[in-house]
Amino acid sequence: MRLLAQYCIVMQDLSILPPMKPITRAPGAAGAHFLSMTDLDGPALEGLLEAAAELKSGGGFASLDRQPLAGKSVALIFDKPSLRTRVSFEVGIAKLGGITTTLTGGEVGLGSREPVEDIGRTLSRYVEAVVVRMLDHEALAALAGASDAPVINALTSHEHPCQALADLLTLRERLGPLAGRQLVYVGDGNNVCHSLLLGGAALGLHVRVAAPPGHEPSPAVVDEALELARASGSRIEVVHEPRAAVGGADAVYTDVWASMGSEHEAAQRRRTFAGFRLTYKLLAAAPDALVMHCLPAHRGDEIDAEVLEGPRSVAFDQAENRLYVQQAVLLHLLEGRRAGLRPMPFPAQLDLALASARAGQR
């Protein structure tokens, strides 16, 4: 296996890819929005996962009469189809006492009926937070830059941070502390792969990506992950041989080969990715590894049905955990703004909100 562990080698090997324009970060106070995994540093990310775990266990607001989002409204904009993202946000917000207004991209006319900046300015006059699922990451950043309310990235072509949070929570539940563990991602270096690289690097989780030539993660994201890894001790690798890549893995992850926006390439990608399907034969080098998939899954393409449905699969645990990490993100942003227009680090913020809720019961 040819490991591209060194930054200079990674960049040389990825030179066949077209240069990518750096992603624009939304202006404003740090932590005002959640557009990227890099909006949370390692300690904040650890704290958010701890808060999500507490919410899931029933030790959080689920066991209290007082609902922290009571009287608060959240706008959900879906420019692309959604099952897990939409339902987990709508249900999660309702369980915390908030209300949602859900709109399709066609109803809003993202960037066509009016500029995205005007959408951000308008919605932030009505609601306390805005959740957006759209492909154009630059447009999302522009919307967030104009919004006085926190904006949450529910998926763009560049990142899928809410999914990665659920994945990291699932790994934490099964493996304990993530530092030093090995996650192997097999397949297309897409938005999910990007968020896993950045989140893993921040937490000290080793992340190895096995992708066909020309389908590696963005060099800019690899660069950013390597920078984070220098501080956390994480090991970031990009390789092209899936069989060797899975050796020693604690978890093996895959996603669809033709993500939203590249469906027209599905036939060609089936040929290109033929050796990257998660089969029990491929996983033989990691007999105890967890099997992960963000769903929806195309059985017979990126993963065999028997693997997805097998005892090592945690795909539906990942789907369930979307609910709790998204609740934690909303509380992180909204409770922090109430306390001083800037999110406080977890778990201190959660403890404060829990104490306030309990006091309200007396």
Domains of the chain, earliest start first: 7-17+161-317 (3.40.50.1370), 37-160+323-342 (3.40.50.1370)
**In this predicted model, what pLDDT tens digit does every residue of 198-236 receive, in sequence order?**
999 999 999 999 999 999 999 999 999 999 999 999 999
Lowest mean pLDDT among 104-108, 155-159, 304-308: 104-108
Is 163 among the catalytic positions? yes
pLDDT band of residue 264 (cuts 50, 70, 90) is confident
Q: Which of 33, 84, 160, 269 is catalytic?
A: 160
User: Quick count: other Cβ atoms within 10 Å of Cβ 143?
Assistant: 29
pLDDT attached to residue 60 = 59
Q: Which of 255, 277, 326, 327 is catalytic?
A: 255
Judge contact between 39 and 28, C-beta under 8 A.
no
Lowest mean pLDDT among 29-38, 119-128, 193-202, 211-220: 29-38
pLDDT attached to residue 61 = 54
Q: Which of 163, 182, 318, 349 is catalytic?
A: 163
pLDDT attached to residue 340 = 36
Check whether 130 has a pLDDT greater than 80.
Answer: yes
Check whether 26 has a pLDDT greater than 70.
Answer: no
Is 317 among the catalytic positions? no
| Average pLDDT score over residue span 312-340 | 88
Q: Which of 194, 240, 250, 294 is catalytic?
A: 294
Is 158 among the catalytic positions? no
pLDDT attached to residue 266 = 80
Angle at which helices 191-203 and 161-175 pack, to 10 degrees? Answer: 50
Q: Strands of 129-133's sheet, edge to edge?
A: 99-104, 73-78, 129-133, 151-155
Q: Which of 322, 326, 332, 337 is catalytic?
A: 322
Residue 93 DSSP label = H
Lowest mean pLDDT among 25-39, 132-146, 323-337: 25-39
- Measure the CA–CA gap between 258 and 85, rounded to whole angstroms: 19
Amino acid identity of 24? Answer: T
Is 255 among the catalytic positions? yes
- 324: nearest Cα among 350, 290, 292: 350
| Average pLDDT score over residue span 37-42 | 96
Asked if residue 345 has a cis previous peptide bond (ω within 30° of 0), the answer is no
Is 65 among the catalytic positions? no
Check whether 30 has a pLDDT greater than 90.
Answer: no
Residue 135 DSSP label = S
Is 39 among the catalytic positions? no
